[in-house]
Amino acid sequence: MKHLAFILLLPASTMASAIVVRHDVADSAYLVPDAALPALVDLPHEGHGVLIAPQWVLTAAHATQWHPIAEVMLNGDCLKVEEVLVHPGYKQLPDGLMTSNPERAIDFLAHLDDIALIKLAKPVANVSPIALYEGHAELGKTVVLFGKGATGNGKTGQIDGANRTRLRRAENVISAVEDRALVYTFDNGSTALPLEGMLGNGDSGGPVLLYTNGHWELLGLARGRLSTSPPGYYGQQSHQIRVSYYLDWIRATIGGTGLGRNA
Per-residue pLDDT 10s for the chain (263 aa) are: 333 334 454 443 333 334 789 999 999 999 999 999 999 999 998 899 999 999 999 999 999 988 889 999 999 999 999 999 999 999 987 788 777 877 787 777 778 999 999 999 999 999 999 999 999 999 999 999 999 877 889 998 877 665 667 899 999 999 999 999 999 999 999 999 999 998 867 888 999 999 998 999 999 999 876 554 567 889 988 899 999 999 999 999 998 666 766 54
Residue 6 has what pLDDT? 45
| 3-state DSSP assignment of residue 84 | strand
DSSP E strands: which ranges in the chain? 5-8, 20-21, 40-42, 48-53, 56-59, 71-74, 77-86, 116-120, 131-132, 142-147, 152-153, 157-158, 168-177, 181-185, 197-198, 207-212, 215-227, 237-242
Residue 8 has what pLDDT? 52
**What's the predicted TM-score (pTM) here?**
0.89
CATH of domain 5-254: 2.40.10.120
Q: Mark out the alpha helices in the chain (DSSP H runs).
A: 97-100, 102-110, 247-254
**CA distance linking residue 125 with residue 84, whole number of Å:** 20
Contact 164, 45 (CB under 8 A): yes
**CA distance linking residue 192 with residue 80, whole number of Å:** 40
Phi, psi of 50 (to 5 degrees): -135, 130
Domain map of the chain by residue range? 5-254
Residue 131 has what pLDDT? 97
Residue 10 has what pLDDT? 45
Kindly calculate the radius of gyration of the chain based on its CA atoms and give it in whole angstroms: 17
